[in-house]
Amino acid sequence: MPPFITFEGGEGCGKSYQARALHRRLTKQSIPAVLTHEPGGTTLGENITRWLKWRGDVPISAVGELLLFSASRNQLMEEFIIPKLNEGNVVICDRFYDSTLAYQGYGRGLDLDLIKTLNTLSTGGLKPSFTVLLDIPASDGLARKNKKRIDRFEKEAVVFHEQVRQGYLQLARNEPRRFLIIDALLPKNAVADIIQERVRRLINL
Ligand code: TMP
């Protein structure tokens, strides 16, 4: 099966930019590759995302939030990720289940083993082949965000986002072969080159 590559990191780390850049580079090299994102990527997922990110006026419990992210993920797996891998595409996903461990686990304090069980359920056990973690101090990342349009997660205190960051670093320490940690304060092009080089080795170009 072709590689399944995920991008992770806190707010303002630049992962969406880097996921798009990798997709562009692979496509330029005539490597079949598709790009998607979480939460969302399907009709159901985009509707769930609207509630999770933009309806700050509607209370959502921590467990409810976890279940909504999981529902969105399972739909994306069935509708997009599995079929695209089976067709021979490299699949690049902007956020995946490590976001749930970092945000709902380390951030909200929900039980990590429970989240892992739900992650297995929502993904059918598929794991990313390779995960880029763009690491940035929470305050630097938040300062990069557009202040005019702040979502429910960006409204959380800096300490929440710092817990998320430490959570990501712990996840990367637990699986050093899967994760590549990159300093997100490096220039964009330098970050893109590091990722491209690692992916080149992964797919034996
Ligand atoms: P973003 O990818 O545009 O930053 O927005 C997604 C937000 O949702 C971000 O704040 C992280 C959060 N999130 C979770 O809390 N858990 C998850 O499982 C996922 C995929 C995202």
What is the distance between the alpha carbons of residues 21 and 158, in angstroms, rounded to a whole number?
28
Q: How far is the CA of 102 from the centre of ligand 1 (A)?
A: 10
Q: Which residues contact 58 (CB under 8 A, 6 or more apart)?
A: 51
Asked if residue 142 has pLDDT above 70, the reply is yes
- The residue to mutate among 153, 162, 163, having the most atoms of ligand 1 within 8 angstroms of its beta carbon, is 153
Q: Is 38 in the pocket of ligand 1 (CB under 6 A)?
A: yes
Q: Is 23 in the pocket of ligand 1 (CB under 6 A)?
A: no
Q: Write the pLDDT tens digit of every residue in 3-55.
A: 999 999 999 999 999 999 999 999 999 999 999 999 999 999 999 999 999 99
Pick the atom of ligand 1 nearest to 154's CA.
10
Strands 179-183 and 90-94: unpaired
- Within 50-111, residue ranges assigned H as helices are 62-76, 82-86, 97-100
Q: What is the pLDDT of residue 147?
A: 81
Residue that the structure tokens 């959380």 belong to: 156
Q: Write the pLDDT tens digit of every residue in 70-100.
A: 999 999 999 999 999 999 999 999 999 999 9
Q: Write the pLDDT tens digit of every residue in 95-132.
A: 999 999 999 999 999 999 999 999 999 999 999 999 99
Q: Is 99 in the pocket of ligand 1 (CB under 6 A)?
A: yes
Ligand 1: residue whose CA is nearest its atom 7: 153
Q: Which residues contact 128 (CB under 8 A, 6 or more apart)?
A: 4, 5, 6, 93, 96, 98, 178
Per-residue pLDDT band at 56 (split at 50, 70, 90): confident
What is the distance between the alpha carbons of residues 186 and 176, in angstroms, rounded to a whole number?
21
Ligand 1: residue whose CA is nearest its atom 10: 153
Per-residue pLDDT band at 205 (split at 50, 70, 90): low
Answer with the residue of higher pLDDT: 130 or 57. 130
Q: Is 165 in the pocket of ligand 1 (CB under 6 A)?
A: no
What is the distance between the alpha carbons of residues 129 and 107, in angstroms, rounded to a whole number?
25
Asked if residue 152 has pLDDT above 90, the reply is yes
Q: Is 39 in the pocket of ligand 1 (CB under 6 A)?
A: yes
| 3-state helix/strand/coil string of 117-143 | HHHHHHHCCCCCCEEEEEECCHHHHHH
Ligand 1: residue whose CA is nearest its atom 4: 11
pTM surpassing 0.95?
yes
* DSSP classification of residue 104: I
What is the distance between the alpha carbons of residues 43 and 47, in angstroms, rounded to a whole number?
6
Q: Is 100 in the pocket of ligand 1 (CB under 6 A)?
A: yes
Residue that the structure tokens 């969406």 belong to: 16
C-beta of residue 140 within 8 angstroms of C-beta of residue 186: no
